[in-house]
């Protein structure tokens, strides 16, 4: 009897682990690239700062920037620029924002991060956004 309970407990742990793994999101750097080029680069090109290519920073720099969640020298947050609310506010004039209007914020954040890390100066494929 004791042996049966321990097998049931092991089976439950395996099932819960499998369910958690099934829910994990695998970031899509290509989707992040489309959003970055269509939204981030478009805005930066129009500003005095100009475009910011992912290859201008290292992976550590991008990780620190995203973790700090400070944009425009701390005047606002990075997360506001990939939020559903922001995408809704610009989607009439921005095809990328319209395309990703219903994507959950965290998925888009993960996609952007995957692109920035891949395209970083020391990433797998340093990227420019021209």
pLDDT tens across 15-27, in order? 444 444 456 889 9
pLDDT-derived band at 7, boundaries 50, 70, 90:
very low
- pLDDT per position as a tens digit, 45-68: 888 777 789 999 999 999 999 999
Full-model pTM: 0.78
State the residue range of the domain holding 112: 27-119
Q: What is the pLDDT of residue 129?
A: 58
Residue 64 lies in a domain: yes
CB 124 within 8 A of CB 118: yes
* 129 in any annotated domain: no
User: Over the range 81-90, which residues count as b (16 or more CB within 10 Å of their CB) and which as e?
Assistant: bbebeebeeb
Total domains in the fold of the chain: 1
Percentage of the chain with pLDDT > 70?
A: 80
> Does residue 42 form part of some domain?
yes
- How sure is the predictor about 128, in pLDDT bands with cuts at 50, 70 and 90? low
Q: Please check whether residue 130 lies inside any domain of the structure.
A: no
* Euclidean distance between CA atoms 36 and 34, whole angstroms: 6
């Amino acid at each position: 009897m004791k042996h049966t309970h321990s097998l049931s407990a092991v089976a439950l742990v395996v099932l819960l682990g499998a369910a958690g793994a099934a829910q994990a999101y695998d970031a899509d750097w290509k989707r992040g690239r489309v959003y970055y080029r269509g939204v981030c680069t478009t805005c930066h090109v129009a500003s005095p700062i100009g475009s910011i290519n992912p290859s201008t920073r290292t992976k550590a720099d991008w990780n620190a920037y995203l973790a700090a969640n400070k944009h425009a020298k701390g005047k606002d947050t990075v997360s506001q620029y990939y939020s559903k609310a922001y995408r809704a506010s610009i989607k009439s004039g921005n095809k990328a924002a319209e395309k990703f209007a219903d994507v959950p914020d965290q998925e888009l954040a993960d996609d952007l991060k995957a692109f920035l890390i891949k395209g970083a100066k020391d990433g797998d494929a340093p990227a420019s956004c021209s």
